[in-house]
Amino acid sequence: MTRPLIRLVVLAAGISVATAGCTLDTATNSSGDVVDVVIGYQSKTINTVTAGTLLRAKGFLERRLSGVTDRTGTEYKVNWQDYDTGAPITAQMVAEKIDIGSMGDYPMLINGSSTQANERARTQIVSVTGYHPRGALNMVVVTPNSPVQTLTDLKGQKVSASVGSAGHGTLVRALSNAGVDPKTGVEVLNQQPQIGASALESGQVQALSQFVAWPGLLVYQDKAKLLYDGAEGNYPTLHGVVVRRAYAADHPEVLDAFLQAQLDATDFLNDKPLEAARIVAEDSGLPQEVVYLYNGPGGTSFDTTLKPSLVEALKGDVPYLESIGDFADLDVAGFVHDAPLRAAFDARGLDYDRALAATANPSLIEGTDPVCHIEVADPAKAGELWLDGAEATQPAASPACLLKAVREAKARGAVVRAAYVPDTEFGTRWFADKAIWVKDGQTYLPFATPGGAQRFIAAHPGSAAVDYEQALAGAA
């Protein structure tokens, strides 16, 4: 790993700004009655969609700003800039070329550290887009035929990761927990997600550690299998929104409009997750089945509030960043600023403190299971079946009910687009046909990783791993 990571983020501004400058008429400067609003987002980082892909596709921000124009006469020009990771967004914010950006937890901290020396560039976190309380948004995958079964099997191997990203931070923490020195135990190749995916497929690396949606995408495409689920580390991971403080001070109405629009997008996604997945898939180029894996009910928690547990998690991320580069000391508590979001809640007649205290995922699988003919009583066990041509998914009250639903659907000639189940150990939403199934007596249980299945089998004598087809045939 390279030491000058944080410095490289800032140096990249010189290159990135030159490129972006060609696409902007006035960068972020405002003149006359037209205010420029430059948004940096990541279309393929799908748990930021409420501040990026979905927000843009639905036109929520433009609609909110139009309302401001109607009231004040001031016009706004929105410029959306799409990036693969958070680092180039930070580079542009350092150069005062992006006003509002969305990115993951580690990149947000790098953003705050890198921008704080310049008052015009200095940023603050103003909202969360999506989070997972156990960290299941980051994963490590290996090739489908890899003999690797645990993280310790990666000793001496090459692993692709975007250094400084949430995916890399998860790898470092996971290796440390497994007793492997993350600096000397493996060789980390610092690569962008798509480059790392190609490196894994070509055999240049033996594993890839990334953030959503890359692990799920590669597994869905049968180019990888899941080795490590970030939920095993039981450490929260989040993505959120940062804004340049000077810009927010100059144009508080823009920040308010953005947060209101983000709340609009969040409500839309939680109310209509399948439609939201379709929109995001069309705009990002990702398969809708992969988008829905993460953004469907029981996946990412799309909740804008800046929860104390997430702020504490950010504080706990700092030592990792200090270990990989020149990370300038950052007052994390001071970096988090919830006053604008509180005001946005108040304007909608919502209780921010009540939402702040809520811990349940706002979107859960509900309804009547049409195969087992029972209500979904336990969201932690519930799954979903998505049939080709269907306008809605059908709920499954348990993994057994899902297996029976898939079996019955196939028997009548229906085509299964996707089936989703919660991992038995940690609850991570995963593809049923990519899960490792374990038979325990007459019960079939899904596990996202081989390690999870092995731990269960070791603790339950007589249980054994079976393949998906065996589970389908045996479910009763």
User: To the nearest whole number, what is the mean pLDDT of the chain?
Assistant: 93
| 20 in any annotated domain | no
Is residue 295 scored above 50 in pLDDT? yes
CA distances from 300 to 158, 159, 193, 217, 236 (A): 29, 25, 20, 16, 11
User: Both 189 and 306 in a single domain?
Assistant: no
Domain membership flag for residue 218: yes
Domain-embedded: residue 12: no
- Cβ–Cβ contacts within 10 Å for residue 366, how many? 12
pTM reported for the whole predicted model: 0.92
Co-location of 242 and 346 in the same domain = yes
CATH number, domain at 191? 3.40.190.10
Please indicate, yes or no, whether residues 117 and 222 belong to a single structural domain of this protein.
Answer: no
User: Count of domains in the chain?
Assistant: 3
Q: Which of 189, 206, 233 lies at the terminal end of a domain, its last residue? A: 233
pLDDT of residue 32: 60
Please count the residues of the chain.
476
Please name which of 332, 336, 335, 343 lies closest in space to residue 258, comparing C-alpha atoms.
343
Q: Is residue 112 part of a domain?
A: yes
Res 417 pLDDT > 90: yes
Q: For residue range 118-164, what is the model confidence (pLDDT) as tens digits?
A: 999 999 999 999 999 999 989 999 999 999 999 999 999 999 999 98
**Alpha-carbon span 291 to 293, nearest angstrom:** 5
Looking at 294, 329, 357, which one is the last position of a domain?
A: 357
Question: With 60 as the cut, is the pLDDT of residue 463 above it?
Answer: yes
Is residue 251 located within the same domain as residue 267? yes
**pLDDT surpassing 80 at residue 11:** no
Structural domain of 427: 368-475
Is 70 inside a domain boundary? yes
| 121 and 245 co-located in one domain | yes
**Segments in 221-363 forming alpha helices (H):** 245-250, 252-271, 273-284, 288-295, 308-324, 332-335, 339-347, 352-357
Residue 1: pLDDT above 90? Answer: no
Is residue 15 over pLDDT 50? no
Give the pLDDT score at 19. Answer: 38
Question: Within a domain: residue 390?
Answer: yes
Kindly state whether residues 246 and 337 are assigned to the same domain.
yes
Residues 350, 434: one domain? no
Average pLDDT over every residue of 313-327? 91
163-189: pLDDT as tens digits: 989 899 999 999 999 999 999 999 999
Residue type, 261: A
- Where is the domain boundary, 176, 198, 233? 233
209-245 pLDDT per residue, tens: 999 999 999 999 999 999 999 999 999 999 999 999 9
pLDDT tens-digit readout, 240-266: 999 999 999 999 999 999 999 999 999
